Amino acid sequence: MQAATIGRSIGAASLTFGIFDTLYAYMLATSVGTDAKVFQAAGLREIGTGIAGLANPTSSKPVWARFAADLGDLATLGVVAARPNPRRKGALIAVGIVAGVALIDFLAARAIDRQTRATDGDAAFAMNGE
């Protein structure tokens, strides 16, 4: 898959998740046992990384930013799941979902980096006349 396709796909997914998280923050927060502001903040961040990814789909930076944010989300959800919480099962399911998304983001960012490095290397090779 081409770097631009990967970047656009991750950007579109991020934008979609962000809108969903923002619109349904209360429902999501209730299902895991936390405050809606957690999901509102995550949703706004997702919207931002989604726009950045769509604006520059061949750059891995928005995808790496999304991956870093996934790690923060995992830490937050881990705290929610670890404390006494009648919604612990929902929090653990959310941890699993976010872990899967983080893996996808990691692999996508690496794939974009590999392709852009290969392209940059081809350009440098051509410029040297070799």
Give the model confidence (pLDDT) of 20-39 as tens digits: 999 999 999 999 999 999 99
DSSP secondary structure string for all residues of 66-77: HHHHHHHHHHHH
Q: Is 123 a domain residue?
A: no
Q: Is 44 a domain residue?
A: yes
Considering only CA atoms, which of 25, 31, 44 is closest in space to residue 81? 31
Whether pLDDT at 45 is above 50: yes
Q: Is 25 a domain residue?
A: yes
Determine the structural domain holding residue 86 and report its residue range: 3-118
Q: Which two tokens stand for residue 29?
A: 């927060």
Residue-level pLDDT at 119: 64
pLDDT interval class at 123 (50, 70, 90): very low
Q: Is 98 a domain residue?
A: yes
Predicted structure pTM score: 0.86
Q: Is 7 a domain residue?
A: yes
Q: Is 84 a domain residue?
A: yes
Q: Is 129 a domain residue?
A: no
* Model confidence pLDDT, tens digit, residues 60-119: 999 999 999 999 999 999 999 999 999 999 999 999 999 999 999 999 999 999 998 876
Q: How many domains does the chain have?
A: 1
